């Protein structure tokens, strides 16, 4: 049994819905971020559309964590790793001048807001796993 199970289920349902919605939007309109951040349109919007597809597929995996939180730690750990490495890459792009600071909004909603709930879930899953061993 995992502590705060209802909370974790709600978090991963929300993450699943968000990722699927974001992924579908980005696949349909792959230039949205570039317009939002005041950047020139992407030369290869299909690359951003593909990113949308991958993010959307993570949404399906997050639904699986919500369905079976006692077994979802690996998916959540990979998700949190991506949600940590994504902002690191974005900071590098901004620092190098390749992207404007306004593009960091992407990381705030896709990554940063999920750090605490994903981290809390991983802590609780770790404790539950240790207790069952």
List the domain boundaries for the chain. 5-132
Q: Reply yes or no on whether the pLDDT at 93 is more than 80.
A: yes
Q: Is the whole model's pTM more than 0.85, yes or no?
A: yes
SS3 115: helix
Angle ∠(64,20,29) on CA atoms, nearest 5: 165
pLDDT digits (tens, 9 = 90+) for 59-81: 999 999 999 999 999 999 999 99
DSSP-derived secondary structure for 3-54: TTHHHHHHHHHHHHHHHHHHHHHHHH-TTHHHHHTTPPPPS-HHHHHHHHHH
pLDDT digits (tens, 9 = 90+) for 107-121: 999 999 999 999 999
pLDDT digits (tens, 9 = 90+) for 33-45: 999 999 999 999 9
Q: Of 108, 70, 77, which is closest to residue 90 (Cα–Cα)?
A: 108
Q: Reply yes or no on whether the pLDDT at 132 is more than 90.
A: no
At residue 23 the predicted structure's pLDDT band, cuts being 50, 70 and 90, is very high
Read off the pLDDT of each residue in 122-128 and give the average, rounded to a whole number: 93
How many angstroms separate the CA atoms of 13 and 23, rounded?
15
């Amino acid at each position: 049994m995992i502590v705060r199970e209802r909370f974790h289920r709600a978090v991963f349902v929300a993450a699943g819905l968000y990722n699927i919605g974001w992924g579908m939007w980005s696949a349909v309109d792959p230039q949205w971020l570039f317009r939002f951040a005041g950047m020139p349109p992407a030369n290869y919007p299909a690359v951003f559309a593909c990113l949308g597809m991958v993010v959307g597929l993570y949404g399906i995996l997050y639904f699986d964590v919500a369905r079976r939180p006692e077994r979802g730690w690996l998916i959540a750990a990979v998700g949190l790793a991506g949600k940590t490495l994504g902002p690191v890459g974005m900071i590098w792009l901004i620092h190098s001048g390749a992207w404007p600071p306004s593009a960091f909004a992407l990381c705030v909603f896709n990554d940063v807001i999920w750090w605490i709930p994903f981290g809390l879930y991983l802590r609780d899953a770790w404790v539950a796993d240790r207790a069952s061993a």
